[in-house]
Structure 1
Amino acid sequence: MPSTLISPSTAASADGPLIVAVVREGAEPRITERHCHGRGQLLGATQGLLSVDAGDSQWVVPATHAVWIPPGTAHGVRSHGPFCGWSVYVLASECVGLPEAPCILTVSGLLREVVLRTAGWGEGDWAPAQTRLAGVLLDEIRTLPRATLGLPMPRDARLRRIAQALSDRPDDERRLEEWAAWAGIAPRTLTRRFVQETGFSFTEWRQRVRLLRALERLAAGMPVTRVALELGYDNVSAFIALFRRTFGVTPGRYFAPHESL
């Protein structure tokens, strides 16, 4: 397991600086096992992708977005390729008014600049200007638009077993009835409860997990055609059309150069 970005005592502390911002780059992928701490955390990548498992949701997050994790929420993180990322740890008492559940936020240019400016600040006494800048960062977290890249996991143990299997093998072509038999649940119950517990139909959920895995592969430089075929699409054009409907751009344009941190 890699070393923590900040000391465990600082992450757990109920006092200290309002925020602790960290920017890190490494030659190796970063895998942080599921854990929790007393501070809230906003995390993102400066390039590439991060897979984040927080609460009951999974996300694959590009560098244009960040994940907010409230204090005490269990979460794990994995980078795809060498780790290039940042985190802001927020004192629990300052999280009032911030999102109460894990969510994805669209990163603004102002947020990027503030993170860069505050990274590496010491934990001693701050000048008034530093406190004001920390307040700007908290205001940005409160007002940044939320994105819908997430994939909520169902709570029912049988449905969760199906969802985990599809997350591991998104190219699995079994029909709904076959999945229901495999998990020991009636097909009609599976259909109804998937919508109730995730907000997606079974088909929509499976499409979404394929698209999130597609982001991982595309970020690693895999050609679009190969990505589509490995994820179970016989028609590459259909994959591209679904990708564009979901993310607003084609796979080839999704990772077009953007302003980095």
Structure 2
Amino acid sequence: MARSRRAVDYQDVPRPVAAMADEYPAGHATVLHSHRRSQLFYGSSGVARVATRDGTWVAPPLRAIWVPGGIEHQVVCRGPVSFRTLYIEPDASPQLPKACRVMEVSDLLRSLIIESVEVPLDYDVTGRDGCLMQLILHEIGIAPVSPLYIRMPQSRPLRRMCEAILRDPSTRADLDDWAAKTGMSRRTLTRHFRLETGISIATWIKQARLVEAMSLMAEGASVTTVAFEVGYESSSAFGAMFRKTFGCSPTRY
């Protein structure tokens, strides 16, 4: 019997972990929604993006996105994505993250996630399948966090500005341009932006470019192409930023 592809069918399964497999086409986008259970989104292929009212998280291959239960979110796919989603009871383990994050997926966790889809929904919690699910919970709890996150401001003018940058990370608009577009002075703009996001506009733009770069690289674009697509004047400048963030070159990454 085929397993359901409806999230609602996994919320009240009498087990702490329930795994679902699904295929999303390019351009797929859900409406803003939430679930009672927490979720781990893992794309075995493709690039997934999850957006909430507070920010955006992007997961290329070998990364997963964690969304605690009750948080409204939207899932967006640039290209086709093969999803493996774990629906987890919020109190299944004290190690589970309390906030959204992108986490690195080890070879072990990847294998466990893929195997979990083959486990019966009413698995024996004291048997092999129960041990597998408990190991998944442990691995989620210790998985390193990846900096593929963009915090979004809440005020309408700043949010519109950030959405425009996300649509075109290569934009050459400077602080004076954004001040004019938001109807603020330079000083007011920079002050409010830092208050709402905790970082400067320049740092935010760098993070937005990095997130877009990771998505393009995961889709097979060359480092040189990516560098120009996200607004860098050369691949070496992009490479320097990338090494500073991840500790290795884009090609090696």
Q: Determine if the TM-score, normalized by the shorter chain, exceeds 0.5.
A: yes
Q: CA deviation at 1:59?
A: 2.1
- The aligned length equals 249
- Structure 1 pair 105/193, CA: closer, same or farther in 2 (3 Å)? same
Query: Alignment identity in percent?
Result: 33
Q: CA deviation at 1:158?
A: 1.9
Aligned to 2:42: 44
Q: After superposing the two structures, state which structure 1 stretch, 245-254 or 156-165, moved more.
A: 245-254
Q: CA deviation at 1:49?
A: 2.1
Aligned to 1:248: 247
> Separation in 2 of the partners of 1:229 and 1:6?
39
Q: CA deviation at 1:152?
A: 0.8
Q: Compute the RMSD of aligned alpha carbons.
A: 2.4
Q: Determine whether 1:31 maps to 2:28.
A: yes
Return the letter of the residue paired with 1:29: A
Q: CA deviation at 1:103?
A: 0.9
1:210-249 aligned at under 5 Å gives the runs 210-249=209-248
Cα deviation code 1:65-89 (max 9, x no counterpart): 2111000111222333332231111
2:124 aligned to 103, 126, 138, which one? 126
Q: CA deviation at 1:233?
A: 2.3
CA contact (8 A) 1:158 1:185 kept: no
Unaligned runs of 5+ residues in structure 1 are 255-261
Unaligned runs of 5+ residues in structure 2 are none
Q: CA deviation at 1:224?
A: 2.4
Cα deviation code 1:7-44 (max 9, x no counterpart): 3432443x522111134457x43624132111110112
> Separation in 2 of the partners of 1:190 and 1:5?
48
Q: So what's the TM-score if we normalise by structure 1?
A: 0.85
Q: So what's the TM-score if we normalise by structure 2?
A: 0.87
- Structure 1 pair 234/132, CA: closer, same or farther in 2 (3 Å)? closer
CA contact (8 A) 1:70 1:95 kept: no
1:80 aligned to 72, 78, 81, which one? 78
- Structure 1 pair 223/134, CA: closer, same or farther in 2 (3 Å)? closer
